[in-house]
Chains A and B, each alone.
Chain A
Amino acid sequence: DAKTTQPNSMESNEEEPVHLPCNHSTISGTDYIHWYRQLPSQGPEYVIHGLTSNVNNRMASLAIAEDRKSSTLILHRATLRDAAVYYCIPRSGNTPLVFGKGTRLSVIA
């Protein structure tokens, strides 16, 4: 399994963009980069995933470095509801998700 490094915590003001970094220097060529988040008292929920190109969906954008050794999850306008622990997970095929400790995002009103 590829090892990931994420900041323990980050803070953002409401309605400002947030950039959550993740280093995954040992990622394999077949690993997609998945992001999940876990809101308080809930199970994790899928946010976004990508392989090489930058990806956008209704929740967030994912920017992947050209060498694929790092990626950044971008929340364009943070809301109070975005306060959660965010996990970056390299994953190949149907292999189990391997969670690290993630980044705890706090959003200030």
Chain B
Amino acid sequence: DAGVTQSPTHLIKTRGQQVTLRCSPKSGHDTVSWYQQALGQGPQFIFQYYEEEERQRGNFPDRFSGHQFPNYSSELNVNALLLGDSALYLCASSPLAGGVTGELFFGEGSRLTVL
């Protein structure tokens, strides 16, 4: 049973460019959340998708947008990249009802470097 998979694992962009990160949730999970983790910090919640709609959103600007597909996979898009967007982007999946423990399953992340 594959866990949460993310791609690409690493990428480098320049300021002003746009980036798309992809996530496939764990089998049986219909809810996907995205987190940003700056170096030395804990992950910060960006948004959550369920039934192809954004359900909850953290304190991130509109440059951060997402999408969820009918197969529950998801994309995170960031426009007009800034140096401060350099971070590890983590995808987490869960069943909406939270399952038995309410736990989230995280992927290994996509490390974005903005030059």
A residues lining the B interface (CB < 8 Å)? 32, 34, 41-46, 49, 85, 87, 91, 93-102
Contact = CB atoms under 8 A, between A and B. Distances in A.
26 contacts: A34-B102, A34-B103, A41-B108, A43-B4, A43-B92, A44-B43, A44-B90, A44-B106, A45-B106, A46-B101, A46-B103, A49-B101, A49-B103, A85-B42, A87-B42, A91-B102, A93-B98, A94-B96, A95-B56, A96-B58, A97-B92, A99-B35, A99-B42, A99-B43, A99-B44, A101-B41
B33 interface: yes
- For A34, A43, A94, A95, which residue has the most chain B Cβ atoms within 10 angstroms? A43
Main secondary structure on A side of the interface with B? loop
B48 A96 contact: yes
A101 B43 CA distance: 9
Contacts, number: 56
A96 B56 contact: yes
A48 to B, nearest CB: 9
